[in-house]
């Protein structure tokens, strides 16, 4: 196969990569706030808040993401909520992402010393101001590298949206392969695109979490 | 063998038997990232002698000690055991290292007992795997050594169930099980409170009495004075002063030694 | 669709899910041994190879691996059944993850243990098998069990290339009955229920081994 041919296949796949990135953006838009909310929920002293939060986290982590996608896409219509494949995938993956990252947020919030909250109280700040202006900025530094790691994993997980016929990268590669019969080339190229996005970001996340750990012990 | 000796026996005074050291370091240099932790140090220990090395942290004393069994590979310089080079030249082979370490036993500051094995198993392992002794013979020897360090009752107990002092005594027994000619001790009591340290020092005293050649990096000035035959003070990677322990400790010649001893005794 | 009916149609896939998960875990744990040894080797080239294997297996999504093996290799007239293709793909992936677990286990053993073994003139092999490996196992077991549960869930992607596992059975039943809500809740519950005893076993085994070897004093 010639270079021109590879270039053409690559360009053919790009729209699929675009959809995968859109899916990633959408699931992060749902999953990040939800993850933070769940973290606050599972740390709550109030059982009425804590138990549902724990349930969502346990289900989100214990059930395969693919089953969550099917549940949203094929199950929710029975409750009167019918979603297109794309938002359904974003919601399913977003909930799964939130379940996993709630633990990251919780650890980040807990890592901020109690003395910081007490200092805020002593200065007459309200609970909301303390959380937003004192605790969160410090916790953010700790949660960003692991969140980046999870975001990469869920970028990869957008390939599950194939099962809902979302025209993302894998679907695009597969559909093109059924017409040009270059299955191995198309699918390997798709694999390389996933790896090409995922590996550098994973290395970056691991590197920054190491550097972060160092700067904290120093 | 003589052909590879840089200072052959013939350079010694005629007629005298070559006074080979039991263990000797020649011109040892250890470099870490361009920093010379040990800077051209030579040191010999005669057979049956107890040599104590003292000095501030970062003086290179532990690094020097660890070159004696090549746990620390020297950047340059040689280690001789009984007047024979432990490593012929260049990078030591696995066989050379194993032969050297059978002759040179070692105890660590942090004991480094194997936590998944009982006291007896700790002492048996190298006997079986390195010396090829039978398990029964190894166990007999282990029990005998545990008895010698006063811990016969701990034979079938895991290290985590023993005090620090007991763990170090088991570690001494473990090293003795290979019948070494020389024993290295790397701050054997530094991780112990004084009472537990005393029981370890008692075992070491007994070992010295039996004529074991010992090289001991220590902070225990009393032990150094009472038990050691020779005292070495190191600072900044070099030997600053050495000699009879009492005279070095009571009448130090170098400023650096005086400063160190003052800091130790003022505590 | 009633509950027993839904359950029995999903339950028909449990065997395939178990086969996929257990086989991939066992093969992965075996392939991971040379990968981990390469990763911690003193030779830079071997370290690079081990590290690259781990990065690539983790950098490509599981479902894409299965597509490459199931559809891609058919271009070379290499035909796998969907279950076999899934086992091959998931084994390749799990080897990368389990290799990192082995490495974490090896790193958890203090360097003093290695030094003591050397000072006692143990050979490299003996020092590994008698000193390092048994202690590393204590750290490996809980991580491996957690990964096993992750693999159980990852195995659901095999349904996309046609393996008749829990998820595939649930999808088929939901299309037949038009009762996706109940069926997929039930399917999720089945995965959760399977993972509960596995997690409990992991905690029990981890505690048992830690107690037996009393590694952490």
DSSP B243-255: E-HHHHHHS--SH
User: What residues of chain C lie within 8 A of the CB of A188, using their CB?
Assistant: 68, 72
Q: In what order do the strands lie in the sheet with B104-107?
A: B104-107, B182-186, B213-217, B50-54, B230-235, B238-243
Give dist(CA A90, CA B38) in Å, integer: 62
Higher pLDDT, C186 or B16: C186
Tell me if A75 and C174 make a contact (CB, 8 A cut-off).
Answer: yes
Query: C120 pLDDT band (50/70/90 cuts)?
Result: very high
Tell me if B115 and C135 make a contact (CB, 8 A cut-off).
Answer: yes
Give the pLDDT score at A212.
66
| Span of A99-103, B88-92, B148-152, B218-222 with lowest mean pLDDT | B88-92
A60: closest chain C residue by CA: C188
Give dist(CA C31, CA B235) in Å, integer: 50
Tell me if A195 and C60 make a contact (CB, 8 A cut-off).
Answer: yes
Best of C110, C117, C121, C134 to mutate (most B CBs within 10 Å, chain B): C121
Cβ–Cβ contact B180 with C under 8 A: no
* Neighbors of chain A by Cβ distance (3+ pairs < 8 Å): C
Give the pLDDT score at B229.
95
Q: Where are the alpha helices (DSSP H) in B109-193?
A: 119-129, 135-148, 164-176
Radius of gyration over every alpha carbon of chain A, rounded to an integer in angstroms:
21
Beta partners for residue B41, in sequence order: B28
Tell me if A63 and C170 make a contact (CB, 8 A cut-off).
Answer: no
Give the pLDDT score at A44.
87
Our CA-based measurement puts residue C72 at a distance from the nearest CA of chain A, in whole angstroms, of: 4
Give the pLDDT score at B10.
36
Average pLDDT over residues B19-32: 90
Cβ–Cβ contact C210 with B under 8 A: no
Q: Quick check: B12 pLDDT over 60? A: no
User: What residues of chain A lie within 8 A of the CB of C157, using their CB?
Assistant: 64, 66, 160
Pick among 1.10.3720.10, 3.30.470.10, 1.20.1730.10, 3.30.1330.10: CATH of A28-166: 1.10.3720.10
| Span of A180-184, B257-261, C1-5, C133-137 with lowest mean pLDDT | C1-5
Give the pLDDT score at A217.
47
C199: its two tokens: 């997690």
- C-alpha to C-alpha distances, B258 to B221, B253, B254, B262, B263, nearest whole angstrom: 14, 7, 6, 6, 9
Q: Quick check: C201 pLDDT over 50? A: yes
Give the pLDDT score at B6.
39
The DSSP symbol for B71 reads: S
Q: Quick check: B15 pLDDT over 80? A: no
User: Euclidean distance between the first and final Cα of chain C, in Å?
Assistant: 56
User: What residues of chain C lie within 8 A of the CB of A162, using their CB?
Assistant: 63, 160
Average pLDDT over residues B37-54: 95
User: What residues of chain A lie within 8 A of the CB of C58, using their CB?
Assistant: 198, 202
Give dist(CA A23, CA B155) in Å, integer: 63
pLDDT tens, position by position, C21-70: 999 999 999 999 999 999 999 899 999 999 999 999 999 999 999 999 99
Give the pLDDT score at A215.
60
Q: Where are the alpha helices (DSSP H) in chain C?
A: 3-11, 14-39, 44-59, 62-67, 82-107, 111-119, 124-126, 133-154, 166-177, 180-213
Average pLDDT over residues B77-82: 91
Tell me if A68 and C67 make a contact (CB, 8 A cut-off).
Answer: no
Give the pLDDT score at B1.
36
CB-based contact C102:C143 (threshold 8 Å): no
Give dist(CA B83, CA C53) in Å, integer: 50
Do at least 3 CB pairs under 8 Å connect A with C?
A: yes
CA dihedral A155, A160, A162, A167 (to 10 degrees): -20
B70: closest chain C residue by CA: C119
C68: closest chain A residue by CA: A187
Average pLDDT over residues C140-145: 91
Pick A159's closest partner by Cβ from C61, C187, C188. Answer: C61
A70: closest chain C residue by CA: C184
- C-alpha to C-alpha distances, A167 to A13, C42, C171, nearest whole angstrom: 10, 45, 20
Higher pLDDT, B14 or B37: B37
- C-alpha to C-alpha distances, C52 to A212, B76, C44, C99, nearest whole angstrom: 24, 36, 12, 12
Pick A191's closest partner by Cβ from C68, C188, C192. Answer: C68
- C-alpha to C-alpha distances, C7 to C147, C185, C212, nearest whole angstrom: 26, 11, 41
Pick C213's closest partner by Cβ from B97, B116, B129. Answer: B116
Give dist(CA C88, CA B149) in Å, integer: 56
Give dist(CA C120, CA B172) in Å, integer: 11
Query: A214 pLDDT band (50/70/90 cuts)?
Result: low
CB-based contact C41:C53 (threshold 8 Å): no
Could you give the number of structural domains in chain B? 1
Spell out the residues 6+ positions from residue A217 whose beta carbon is closer than 8 angstroms to its own. Answer: none
Cβ under 8 Å to C: B residues 66-105:
69, 71, 94, 97-102, 105
Average pLDDT over residues C69-84: 90
Q: Quick check: C215 pLDDT over 70? A: no
Give the pLDDT score at A159.
97
Give the pLDDT score at B7.
37
Which of helix, strand or coil describes residue B239? strand
Furthest C-alpha separation in chain C:
70
Beta partners for residue B199, in sequence order: none
State the residue range of the domain holding B239: 2-265
User: What residues of chain C lie within 8 A of the CB of A187, using their CB?
Assistant: 64, 67-68, 71-72
Give the pLDDT score at A5.
79
Give dist(CA B225, CA A143) in Å, integer: 56
Query: C1 pLDDT band (50/70/90 cuts)?
Result: low
Q: Quick check: A62 pLDDT over 70? A: yes
Our CA-based measurement puts residue A174 at a distance from the nearest CA of chain C, in whole angstroms, of: 8
CB-based contact C21:C158 (threshold 8 Å): no
Q: Quick check: A135 pLDDT over 90? A: no
Cβ–Cβ contact A165 with C under 8 A: no
| Long-range contacts of residues B240-247, Cβ cutoff 8 Å, at least 24 apart | B240/B55, B242/B43, B245/B52
B100: closest chain C residue by CA: C121
pLDDT, chain A, mean: 90
Comparing CA positions, the residue from B60, B59, B63 lying closest to residue B73 is B63
In chain B, what percentage of residues exceed pLDDT 90? 79
**Rounded (5°) CA angle C128-B180-B235:** 90
User: What residues of chain A lie within 8 A of the CB of C180, using their CB?
Assistant: 70-71, 73-75, 77-78
pLDDT, chain B, mean: 89
- C-alpha to C-alpha distances, B171 to B139, B156, C154, nearest whole angstrom: 15, 15, 47
Residues in chain B: 267
Q: Quick check: C126 pLDDT over 80? A: yes
* Neighbors of chain C by Cβ distance (3+ pairs < 8 Å): A, B
Indicate which CATH number applies to the domain containing B44. 3.40.50.300
| Consecutive H or E run containing B36 | strand B35-45
Comparing CA positions, the residue from C31, C25, C80 lying closest to residue C54 is C31
Give the pLDDT score at B16.
45
Give the pLDDT score at B5.
37
Q: Quick check: B4 pLDDT over 50? A: no
Tell me if C180 and A74 make a contact (CB, 8 A cut-off).
Answer: yes
Give dist(CA B148, CA C29) in Å, integer: 45
Chain-centroid distance of CA B139 in Å reads 25
Do at least 3 CB pairs under 8 Å connect C with B?
A: yes
User: What residues of chain B lie within 8 A of the CB of C108, using their CB?
Assistant: none
**Rounded (5°) CA angle C203-A50-A127:** 125
C149: closest chain A residue by CA: A62
Chain-centroid distance of CA C41 in Å reads 23
Cβ under 8 Å to C: A residues 41-60:
58-59
Our CA-based measurement puts residue A43 at a distance from the nearest CA of chain C, in whole angstroms, of: 23
| Span of A189-193, A205-209, C101-105, C182-186 with lowest mean pLDDT | A205-209
Best of A64, A103, A189, A201 to mutate (most C CBs within 10 Å, chain C): A64
Average pLDDT over residues C6-15: 92
Cβ–Cβ contact C36 with B under 8 A: no
Pick C180's closest partner by Cβ from A70, A183, A188. Answer: A70
Give the pLDDT score at B34.
87
CA dihedral B23, B25, B26, B31 (to 10 degrees): 160
Give the pLDDT score at A192.
94
Give the pLDDT score at B8.
36
Average pLDDT over residues B222-230: 92
Higher pLDDT, B267 or A70: A70
Our CA-based measurement puts residue A14 at a distance from the nearest CA of chain C, in whole angstroms, of: 16
Tell me if C126 and B105 make a contact (CB, 8 A cut-off).
Answer: no
Tell me if A188 and C195 make a contact (CB, 8 A cut-off).
Answer: no
Spell out the residues 6+ positions from residue A115 whose beta carbon is closer than 8 angstroms to its own. Answer: none
Higher pLDDT, B259 or B15: B259
Indicate which CATH number applies to the domain containing C93. 1.10.3720.10
Best of C120, C122, C127 to mutate (most B CBs within 10 Å, chain B): C120
Give the pLDDT score at A19.
97
C154: closest chain A residue by CA: A64
| Span of A163-172, B6-15, B123-132 with lowest mean pLDDT | B6-15
Could you give the number of structural domains in chain C? 1
| Span of A136-150, B125-139, B158-172 with lowest mean pLDDT | A136-150
- C-alpha to C-alpha distances, A186 to A10, A174, C95, nearest whole angstrom: 8, 7, 25
Which of helix, strand or coil describes residue A104? helix
Our CA-based measurement puts residue B114 at a distance from the nearest CA of chain C, in whole angstroms, of: 7
DSSP A132-170: IIIIHHHHHHHHHHHHHHHHHHHHHHGGGGGGGT---HH
Give the pLDDT score at B84.
86
Give the pLDDT score at A8.
87
Tell me if C71 and A174 make a contact (CB, 8 A cut-off).
Answer: yes
Best of C48, C67, C104 to mutate (most A CBs within 10 Å, chain A): C67
């Amino acid at each position: 196969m010639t270079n021109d041919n590879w270039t053409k296949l690559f360009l053919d796949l790009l729209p699929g990569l675009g959809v995968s990135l859109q899916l990633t953006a959408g699931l992060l838009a749902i999953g990040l706030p939800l993850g933070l909310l769940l973290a606050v929920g599972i740390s709550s002293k109030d059982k009425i808040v804590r138990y549902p939060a724990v349930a969502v986290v346990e289900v989100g982590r214990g059930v395969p993401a693919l089953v969550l996608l099917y549940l949203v896409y094929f199950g929710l219509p029975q409750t009167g909520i019918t979603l297109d494949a794309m938002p359904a995938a974003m919601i399913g993956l977003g909930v799964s992402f939130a379940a996993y990252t709630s633990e990251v947020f919780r650890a980040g919030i807990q890592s901020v010393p109690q003395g910081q909250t007490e200092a805020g109280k002593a200065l007459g700040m309200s609970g909301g101001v303390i959380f937003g202006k004192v605790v969160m900025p410090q916790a953010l530094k700790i949660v960003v590298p692991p969140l980046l790691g999870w975001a990469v994993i869920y970028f990869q997980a957008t390939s599950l949206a194939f099962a809902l016929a979302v025209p993302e990268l894998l679907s695009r590669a597969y559909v093109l392969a059924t017409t040009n019969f270059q299955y191995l080339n198309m699918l390997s190229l798709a694999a390389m695109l996933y790896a090409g996005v995922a590996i550098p970001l994973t290395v970056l996340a691991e590197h920054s979490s190491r550097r972060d750990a160092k700067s904290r012990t120093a | 063998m003589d052909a590879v000796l840089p200072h052959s026996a013939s350079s010694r005074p005629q007629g005298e038997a070559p006074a080979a050291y039991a263990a000797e370091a020649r011109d040892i240099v250890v470099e870490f990232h361009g920093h010379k932790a040990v800077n051209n140090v030579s040191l010999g220990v005669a057979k049956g002698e107890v040599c104590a090395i003292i000095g501030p942290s970062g003086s290179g004393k532990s690094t020097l000690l660890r070159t004696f069994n090549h746990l620390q590979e020297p950047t340059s310089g040689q280690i001789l055991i009984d007047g024979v080079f432990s490593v012929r030249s260049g990078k030591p082979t696995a066989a050379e290292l194993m032969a050297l370490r059978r002759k040179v036993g070692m105890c660590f500051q942090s004991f480094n007992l194997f936590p998944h094995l009982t006291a007896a198993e700790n002492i048996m392992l190298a006997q079986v795997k390195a010396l090829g002794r039978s398990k029964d013979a190894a166990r007999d020897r282990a029990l005998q050594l545990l008895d010698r360090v006063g811990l016969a009752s701990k034979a079938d107990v895991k290290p985590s169930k023993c005090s620090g002092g007991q763990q170090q005594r088991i570690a001494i027994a473990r090293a003795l099980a290979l019948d070494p000619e020389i024993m290295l001790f790397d701050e054997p009591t530094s991780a112990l409170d004084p009472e537990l340290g005393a029981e370890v020092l008692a075992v070491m005293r007994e070992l010295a009495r039996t004529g074991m050649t010992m090289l001991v990096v220590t902070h225990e000035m009393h032990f150094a004075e009472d038990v050691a035959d020779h005292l070495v003070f190191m600072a900044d990677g070099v030997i600053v002063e050495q000699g009879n322990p009492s005279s070095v400790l009571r009448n130090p010649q170098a400023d650096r030694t005086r400063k160190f001893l003052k800091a130790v005794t003022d505590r | 669709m009633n509950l027993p009916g839904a359950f029995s149609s999903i339950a028909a896939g449990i065997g395939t899910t178990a086969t996929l998960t257990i086989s991939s875990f066992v093969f992965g744990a075996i392939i991971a041994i040379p990968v981990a040894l390469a990763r911690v080797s003193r030779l830079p080239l071997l370290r690079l190879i081990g590290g690259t294997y781990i990065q690539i297996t983790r950098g490509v999504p599981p479902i894409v691996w299965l597509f490459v093996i199931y559809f891609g290799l058919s271009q070379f007239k290499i035909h796998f059944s969907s279950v076999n293709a899934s086992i091959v793909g998931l084994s390749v992936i799990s080897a990368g993850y389990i290799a990192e677990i082995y490495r974490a286990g090896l790193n958890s053993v203090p360097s003093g243990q290695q030094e003591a073994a050397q000072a006692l003139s143990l050979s490299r092999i003996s020092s590994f098998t008698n000193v390092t490996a048994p202690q590393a196992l204590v750290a490996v077991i809980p991580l491996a069990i957690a990964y096993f549960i992750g693999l159980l869930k990852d195995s659901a992607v095999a349904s996309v290339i046609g393996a008749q596992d829990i998820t595939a059975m649930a999808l088929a039943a939901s299309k037949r009955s038009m009762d996706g809500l109940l069926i997929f809740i039930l399917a999720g519950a089945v995965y959760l229920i399977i993972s509960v005893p596995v997690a409990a076993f992991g905690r029990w085994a981890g505690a048992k081994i830690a107690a037996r070897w009393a590694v952490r004093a």
